[in-house]
Structure 1
Amino acid sequence: MKSKLFIFFIGLFVLTSISSCKKDFLERKPLDTYSELDVWTDINLVQTFVNSKYRALPHFYNWDKAVNGPGLSAAADEGYSKFNYEGVFLWNKGEVNPDNLSMDSWTGDYGFIRDCNAFFEKIAGVKGDDNMKKRMMGEMKFIRAWCYFNLTSRYGGVPLITKVYSLSDTDFKAARNTYDECMAFVVKEMDEALSMLPDSYSGNDLGRVTKGAALALKSRALLYAASKLNNAAAGRDKWQKAADAAKAVIDLPTYGLYQGSDYKKIFLEKFNSEIILSYGMNGTDWESYLDIMIAPNGYHGWSVYAPSQNLVDDFEMSNGKMIGEAGSGYDPANPYLNRDPRFNATIIYNGTQFRGRTAEYFKGGLDSPQSPVENWNASLTGYNWRKYADETHDMDATGSNQNWIVFRLAEIYLNYAEAQYELGNEPVARQYLNLVRSRTSVNMPGVNSTGTALIDAIRHEREIELCFEGHRFYDVRRWKIALQTENKPLRAVNITKNPNGSFSYSYFNLQERKFTEAHYLFPIPKYEIQKNNQLVPNPGY
């Protein structure tokens, strides 16, 4: 603001003191703004334009900008949002409808699609390096495809729009395309992008979309398309396409499962071998509040998003048995002992070490609702997320710098395992399931199950491996099991410290949850139906 005022006063002085002031003085362009014409005549400005569209991808921004991930986690049985960020209680209580929306992405996604369409109409006339233009075309195809995939995953079939509307257009209304038409468009975009994108980047270009990212999006899209929600006839050809797409990623020499000894570092070491695509955050500009939002109150965190007891109970014992299974060795008096190593790497719980001290969730403890430290920010479930938490980060000094992972190889392995199971290739399904479980930092016993027990194991592995990454919300829907998983109460724990230093644990229902058949899809927003009478509402809304 000071610089603008300074320019104003200098201008006023010149105009009033120098009668010979040149006429074009007031016609000069501001140095900090560019017109649309400027952008499409300078390839470097076009690249800046393209860079800005990466915000369409999932990332953790802050409480009103989280595109995917945290809100989706809290809207599923794995998590909770105590402050109802992103309006997730509407999903939790079964109250979402065309007037009351949560995590609605319609306007945002179509805004990015409009920008992508404008790019494709203009890019041919931009002068500059042809290889750079080609790469940017691949990036924008990916971003447009992601937006349509995201819309279709939420709403079902949506209008496919690939042009920029102008004032000369007489009709701005469009009917919904089918789900299959939308998925075909996404796959076509990715197939075309493959020849435009490089295998990898270096330096300042790290984090851009690659061939691997395009194939990973294709893998996820075709997996969703083959699943029960979208493939009622159980067509085998769809599962074959899903398997082929996953294998195309696996066969790339670029990626490998993270084999370090500390599982937590998958989410902290940027661009490690497992990461196919991640969204980079700028902590200096406080672009992400991730650490403070997931940290316990005793560390001056806000506990905005927290894991549920439902999820905690689903972590296996280290011998591969569920806690209620005979021979598991589960001790109710020491419920966190000898669990899957990913439990300690994913969840902050009573008695674990975090940021240099022991976490205290027991009544009156530093991280409890009775804490003397900012108890209004205490987790109500009795747990916090450790996944993504950077214990070295000074939460008072800067925002968080962790990249938010969009695609990683473990997901693709599990995509492939699921598709191979559905195709009847159980040995291959077990192989890729067990590759995820046998990594150095996990080292869980192999799964030997067959038949329905095997698909249950694959689904369970996704629940554990991919929690807090935005998958569970969609997985239970595409499998058509949400009527079972999302109608269960969200559970939490109360912990009492006994005089002898031991702890007693009791469990309670923190939030009653409700899910109906309609909630397999998002409602088409009423604000869109009012503008476009060709939009047909989703069933049940």
Structure 2
Amino acid sequence: MNKIFITFLAIVCFISCSDFLNKESFDIITPEQVWKEPKLINSVLVNLYDGLQVEDFNYWYRDAWRLINPTSMSDEAQGSFQKDPLFDNGSATYTYEDALFEQKFSDRYVFIRNCNDFLDQLEGAESLSSSQKEQLNAEVRFLRAMHYFSLVKRYGGVPLITAPQVYDPSNLESLAVSRNKEVEIYDFIVKECQAISEILPEIRPESEKYRANKGTALALCSRAALYAASIAKYGTVQLNGLVGIDQSETQRFYQSSYDASKALLDMAIYSLYSKNVNDRTQNYYEIFIKGNGDNGEYIFQKQYNVAGGKGHDWDKRNAPFSYRGGGWGCGMAPTLEMIETYEYMDGASGELKIKENGVPIRFSDPYSLFEGKDPRLFASVYLPGSPCKDSKIEWIRGIIISDTERHQATNQPDGGNTVEVNGVVYNTSGKDGGADAGDASKTGFYQKKFWDETLTDMNMGKSETPWPVFRLGEIYLNLAEAAFELDKKDEALSAVNKIRERAGIVEISEISIEKIRHERKVELAFEGHRYWDMKRWRIAHLDVSQGGLNGFRGSALYPWFDIRDQKFIFEIGTNTPKQTRIFLEKNYYTRIHNEDMNSNPNLVQNPGYTN
């Protein structure tokens, strides 16, 4: 039911088969009539699913062309376009915005109210059996818990409203609800998920397979409790607990996350995708391709359908320059720092070997530089020389004429980067980039994960790759982190090695929190986790040299083509034309919108912000 196009399909189906609708116009159906007809009740449920905020392919802060999403706002990638406010001026600095990824209360609480209304009216629905009511009740409580998780990870404590509010013009004060403590919101989410996981079915029939089930509830519990435990351990309590969680709660929340993760794994319904074990790169890539959402690893997913008018734009917005079909494309440009996070298959550090004894190594094919790296890198990132469709990615910084003469690309690939040498005309860039100007990647890399190489219609709204809201790879890593913090180090080590074994990289023999975080960064790259992980671990405000975002810009890898021997050498570019970032400690929580503050005098603004 979380197929977002299904509202239309459900209505069409209902119109075609319902005698009731043959008698009365659909646009005058009353609430009383809805609750007398199970099919109409399901249509209401569909709209509740449609209101979920899952930070998927269509999730951008402000305008999509600004390329600000959880990937580009972490240390995973830059946005390629030279657009404000973050990706326009290499000599400037960017301070993370007060309202970044805001969820205005006036917007989000509409959906919470809809859930509360549904739950309230469900009790009197005589057309449903008690068993049906119990199942629907649990399902909508899960949706409501998801809404609260979306809010709490942004704002900390928010008003906890679990029943419909009644508008009384003579008592408007009753609507001005105060904020609950952050711990109370996390407790609500965790306890709701624990309770409804005992009610929801483990497996749904084919027609309902995308609706929330037991595993979905446990997955949310696993994630939310882990966030709460991290905030308790690393955060600071402020405003009498409206933000922050007391350290005394740390172990309790880690235990809840551990229990939920273990229960989900013990169900033995989901498994790490391993259908192509002879090609680990292809195996990992296949997890995230169109038509493969039912791969056994996805616990909860968002599906798309172009025919139903519910496709997405990811491929158009993120295609490498020469594959974009005219305009847009190029979106997420992974940084060199991210590329070097991927280790070599033997477990060696991921730092690229571009020199030997201080002398640049020369390569006939730029792709050879990456030989032996973690297969997940090749499945997640387009590198210089990566195969793509029926050609290869070409990102070249410029050409070398002699030891003293070089010609660097100065325009985007279609801008005329040519130079004549001894009567021969050379292109100083590749077809996919090389210059600091224009839309093409400035790092030398493009995001491959989720990009559909089979897509031929490169227009907006033509993509159908599903989005993994929860998948088993995350649950293993949630378990590893919680187990480590609970001094269950053997279990933590085993969970991490399950992920590494599937990836095709050597297992580790010792475990640490740094190794768990490293594995999480690689395995869940570009899936929207890293930004929120850096916030819950309270490392985002640290200097880039300490693994934080302060001073982060993102480095590039520059392949140069030497026309003398037709070989490539590589240099590192640390001065990419992007703003240096500043993440302040107040940015761990988002500013509550002025409209919300003005409409409710009982709200208290988050620390560091003014109304």
TM-score normalised by L of structure 1: 0.85
**Structure 2 counterpart of 1:258, from 257, 270, 273:** 273
Matches within 5 A, 1:104-503: 104=103, 106-130=105-129, 131-168=131-168, 169-171=171-173, 172-227=175-230, 228-229=234-235, 230=244, 233=247, 235-261=250-276, 262-268=283-289, 269-284=292-307, 285-300=309-324, 302-324=329-351, 335-363=369-397, 370-372=412-414, 376-396=438-458, 399-439=462-502, 442-450=503-511, 454-484=512-542, 485-487=548-550, 488-499=552-563, 500-503=565-568
In the alignment, the residues of structure 1 paired with residue 172 and residue 377 of structure 2 have an alpha-carbon distance, to the nearest angstrom, of 57
Give 1:94 deviation, angstroms. Answer: 1.8
Q: Which of these residues, 40, 48, 63, is aligned with residue 45 of structure 1?
A: 40
**Which residue number in structure 1 is paired with residue 241 of structure 2?**
none
Of the structure 1 ranges 120-129 and 130-139, higher mean CA displacement relative to structure 2 is found in 130-139
Equivalents in 2 of 1:84, 1:49: separation in Å?
Answer: 43
> How far apart in 2 are the matches of 1:76 and 1:339?
22
Q: CA deviation at 1:37?
A: 4.1
Matched residues, number:
505
CA distance in 1, matches of 2:48, 2:569: 50
**CA displacement at 1:430 relative to structure 2:** 0.8
Is the Cα contact below 8 Å between 2:394 and 2:432 reproduced in 1?
no
1:224–1:59 CA distance, 2 compared to 1 (3 A): closer
Q: 1:528 to 1:66 in 2, by over 3 A?
A: closer
Q: Which moved more, 1:490-499 or 1:185-194?
A: 490-499
Aligned pairs for 1:517-528 (under 5 A) are 517-528=585-596
- Classify 1:418/1:460 alpha carbon distance in 2 versus 1 (closer, same or farther; 3 Å): same
8 Å Cα contact 1:75/1:89 also seen in 2: no
Contiguous gaps of at least 5 residues in structure 2: 1-22, 236-243, 277-282, 363-367, 400-408, 415-430, 543-547
Partner Cα separation in structure 2 for residue 536 and residue 329 of structure 1: 58
**Contact 2:302 2:466 survives alignment (8 Å):** yes
Gap runs ≥5 in structure 1: 1-27
Q: Deviations over 1:77-127 (max 9, x none)?
A: 11223459997779x922412xx5444454442221111011111112223
Equivalent-residue separation in structure 1 for 2:537 and 2:246 (angstroms) = 11
SS class of match (2:371): coil
Q: Give the corresponding residue for 1:93.
A: 94
1:492 deviates by 2.6
1:67–1:535 CA distance, 2 compared to 1 (3 A): farther
- Deviation of the 1:34 alpha carbon: 4.3
- Residue 35 (structure 1) shift: 4.4
Deviation at 1:226, TM superposition (A): 0.9
Structure 2 Cα separation of the partners of residues 217 and 382 of structure 1 = 36
Alignment check: 8 A CA contact 2:182 2:245 kept: no
State the shift of 1:539 in Å.
1.4
Alignment CA distance shift 1:243-1:405 (3 Å)? same
Deviation at 1:374, TM superposition (A): 9.6
* Residues 64 and 85 in structure 1, CA contact (< 8 A), matched pair in contact too: no
Contact residue 61 and residue 101 of structure 2 kept, 8 A: no
Asked if 1 retains the 8 angstrom alpha-carbon contact of 2:35 and 2:127, the reply is: no
**Contact 1:309–1:491 (CA under 8 A) maintained in structure 2:** yes
The one-letter code of the counterpart of 1:469 is: E
SS in 1 for 2:555: strand
Partners of 1:476 and 1:344 in 2: CA distance: 24
Farther-moved stretch of structure 1 (246-255 vs 196-205): 196-205
Instruction: Compute the displacement of 1:515 (Å).
Output: 0.8
Does 2:582 align with 1:514? Answer: yes
Q: Which residue of 2 aligns with 1:21?
A: none
CA distance in structure 1 between the partners assigned to 2:197 and 2:410 by the alignment: 50
Q: State whether residues 197 and 217 of structure 2, in contact with CA within 8 Å, keep that contact through their aligned partners in structure 1.
A: yes
1:496 and 1:324 map into 2 onto residues whose CA distance is 19
The structural deviation recorded for 1:270 is 1.3
- Deviation at 1:255? 0.8
The offset of 1:47, in angstroms, is 1.0
Instruction: List 4+ stretches of structure 1 deviating above 6 A.
Output: 65-70, 84-90, 328-332
Stretch deviating more after TM superposition (198-207 or 497-506) = 497-506
TM-fit CA distance, 1:29? 6.4
Whole-angstrom distance in 1 between the partners of 2:82 and 2:102: 11
Give a deviation string over 1:248-304, Cα, whole Å, max 9, x none. Answer: 111112111111221111112112111111111123325311222221121016122
Deviates more, 1:225-234 or 1:383-392: 225-234
Return closer, same or farther for 1:423/1:191 CA change in 2, 3 Å cut-off.
Answer: closer
Q: Distance in 2 between matches of 1:88 and 1:231?
A: 32
Partner Cα distance (1:103, 1:259) in 2: 37
Partner of 2:605: 537
Q: Secondary structure at the match of 2:557?
A: strand
User: Once the 2 structures are TM-superposed, how far is the Cα of residue 129 of structure 1 from its aligned partner?
Assistant: 3.5
8 Å contact from structure 1 (residues 363, 370) kept in 2:
no
2-structure distance, mates of 1:282, 1:270:
13
Contact 2:75 2:335 in 1 (8 A): yes
- 2 CA distance for matches of 1:221 and 1:137? 21
CA distance in 1 between partners of 2:299 and 2:63 (Å): 19
Deviation per CA, 1:175-205: give whole Å up to 9, x if none.
1101111011112221232233111223232
Amino acid at match of 2:374: D
Correspondence for 1:62:
58
Residue aligning to 1:15: none
8 A contact 2:61–2:68 mirrored in 1: no
Q: Deviations over 1:408-435 (max 9, x none)?
A: 1111111111111112222221111101
CA 1:201–1:83 in 2, change beyond 3 Å: closer, same or farther? farther
Deviations 1:318-366 (A, max 9, x none): 211113499x99996554222100000000111010112111111479x
Distance of aligned partners of 1:37 and 1:498 in 2 relative to their CA distance in 1, 3 Å threshold? farther
Query: What is the deviation of 1:159?
Result: 0.7
The amino acid across from 2:538 in the alignment is: K
Cα 1:70–1:29 change in 2 (3 A) is farther
Q: CA deviation at 1:520?
A: 1.3
How many angstroms apart in 2 are the aligned matches of 1:535 and 1:458?
38
